[in-house]
Amino acid sequence: MSQHPHVIGWAHTRFGKSDHPDVESLMAEVSAAAVEDAGLTAADIDAISVGVYGTDTTQQRFEAALVGTGTPELGRVRAVRSENACATGSAALYAAFDMVEAGRARAVLVVGAEKMTRAPAATVNDVLLGAAYLPTEQQYGSFPAVFAWLANQYAQRYSNPRDALARIAAKNHRNGVDNPYAHMQRDLGYEFCATPSERNPVVADPLLRTDCSMVSDGAAAVVVTTADVARTARRAVAVRGRAQANDPMPLASRSDPLSFDAAANAFRSALAEAGVGLDDLDLIETHDCFTVAELLQYEAFGLAAPGKGTLLPVEGGTDRDGKLPVNVSGGLKAKGHPIGATGVSQHAIAAMQLVGEASGMQLPRAERAVVFNMGGAAVANYATVLEAGR
């Protein structure tokens, strides 16, 4: 691309059970705030790109138009909604990147949001399972059970990942303590995460509650713009490389369900576009909807050979002070996973790190980050290489 898109402003609600009654008011909390953070006004915004999956089962739809009702000064800005299951936030971001690269917009407000805690738990379960291919995967009964199946496959072929999963959970919960936006800011400790208990029950064997991201409300917003506009911003983060890659939806259609081929493909392609390698990265924010997802992503990204990803959390290589910190924010695990907000949040938090505004999360060195966000069980995979600067 002749012009990399840039991220120049952001805003983020606290994730968790929110007082906001709906996505409209969640989006309102971050929309004007992100525009202001970018040093722009509503008049500078050419388009709004909204990511909402639709977990809230109220009658109100047409979420793209709800940014302009919650924040009336944006009511005449063209808006559109993107959806790609749990990668919905990144889908909205990539739509904005495309608009900017196509010369169709100079500044796009991207808003990801989800209101999940109003619907009954069984409804939320059904809606999330709707991101799996029901003719072959409804048998699992829940989305956690799909990932539990992957963990069991891993145990059969390689080694029991149970200990590694606990270490990933403990790492992410420890990291989440320093994230002011996190649903849970509590260091649960390795023992708690490793041991089934009344307070940490089995959700879908072998996954415990501490292996599963939470049901959260939340919203995040960023402003995406051209290099020209970014030059006048007080700080900017460049999108140096990006890629989306897909795998067939049914796990049974994959040659190897454990290899997350399209995740690997998206990750490699994004790094290639940026012209960088693994050694050039300072952090990864990745899609740990379940701890076993983070484990399989280690292998897809080439951080470990197939079947060897379990060694990484034991050795601490992805700890905050490790060789390549993964999910310094606490990840979906501790931060929460309000579906449509997640991808936008990941990019916003990586941007904060890269410009030195990540408060307690701040790494001493953070010049280049990769964000990875996936929809379904590694069906729609988005990888973005972000760098501070213009």
85 lies in the site for a copy of itself, by CB under 8 A: yes
Whether 362 contacts 111, CB under 8 Å? no
> Which residues, 6+ apart, have CB-to-CB distance to 139 below 8 Å?
none
Tell me the DSSP string of 178-193.
Answer: T-TT-S------HHHH
DSSP β-ladder status, 47-51 and 107-114: parallel
* Residue 113 sits in the site that holds a copy of itself (CB under 8 A): no
Task: Select from 14, 81, 115, 337 the one that contacts a copy of itself (CB under 8 A).
Answer: 81
Task: Write the CB contacts of 138 (distance below 8 Å, at least 6 apart in sequence).
Answer: 129, 132
The smaller minimum CB distance to a copy of itself, of residues 172 and 384, is found at 384
Q: Using CB under 8 A as the criterion, what x/- string covers residues 262-281 for binding a copy of itself?
A: x-------------------
Q: Looking at 41, 43, 76, 359, which residue binds a copy of itself (CB under 8 A)?
A: 76
**Catalytic status, residue 193:** no
Of the listed pieces 91-99, 170-178, 207-215, 305-313, which binds a copy of itself according to CB under 8 A? 91-99
- Tokens 């496959």, residue? 153
Of 105 and 169, nearer to a copy of itself (C-beta) is 105
Find the shortest distance in angstroms from Cβ 131 to a copy of itself. Answer: 5
Helix axes 63-70, 23-37, angle to 10 degrees: 60
Tokens of 42: 């509503």
Identify the DSSP state of 209. G
Place of tokens 């051209």: 226
- Cβ 5 to a copy of itself, closest distance in Å? 9
Q: Does 160 bind a copy of itself (CB under 8 A)?
A: no
Active-site annotation holder among 4, 12, 86, 289: 86
300 binds a copy of itself (CB under 8 A): no
At 230, which amino acid appears?
A: A
- Given the rule CB under 8 A, which of 176-184, 199-207, 245-253, 357-365 is the region that contacts a copy of itself? 245-253
Tokens of 32: 């004007």
Does position 31 interact with a copy of itself (CB under 8 A)? The reply is no
Exposure on the CB side of residue 23, measured as CA atoms within 13 A? 32
Please report whether residue 15 would count as binding a copy of itself according to CB under 8 A: no
Residue span binding a copy of itself (CB under 8 A) among the ranges 64-72, 112-120, 209-217, 316-324? 64-72
Applying CB under 8 A, the site for a copy of itself has a residue count of 58
Nearer residue to a copy of itself within complex by CB, 98 or 280: 98
Using the structure block, give the residue that is written with the tokens 């996973």.
337
Say which residues have a Cβ less than 8 Å from residue 88's Cβ, sequence separation at least 6: 51, 52, 53, 82, 112, 339, 340, 342, 343, 375
Cα 201 from Cα 149, distance rounded (Å)? 17
Q: Could you tell me which stretch among 76-84, 209-217, 304-312, 315-323 binds a copy of itself (CB under 8 A)?
A: 76-84
* Distance (Å, whole) CA 288 – CA 57: 25
Active-site annotation holds for 212: no
> Which is nearer to a copy of itself, 214 or 378 (by Cβ)?
378
Q: How many CB atoms lie within 10 A of CB 234?
A: 10
| Residue closer to a copy of itself, measured from CB, 247 or 285 | 247
> Rule CB under 8 A: is residue 68 a binding residue for a copy of itself?
yes
Q: For residues 72 and 389, which CB has a smaller minimum distance to a copy of itself in the complex?
A: 72
Q: Give the Cβ contact number of residue 29 at 10 Å.
A: 21
**244 part of the interface to a copy of itself, by CB under 8 A:** yes
Residues numbered 246 to 265 that lie near a copy of itself (CB under 8 A) are 246-250, 253, 262
Nearest to 242 by CA among 4, 48, 51: 4
Active site positions, annotated? 86, 337
Give residues in contact with a copy of itself (CB under 8 A): 1, 47, 53-54, 59-66, 68-69, 72, 75-85, 91, 94-95, 97-99, 101-104, 126-127, 129-134, 138, 244-250, 253, 262, 375-376, 379-380
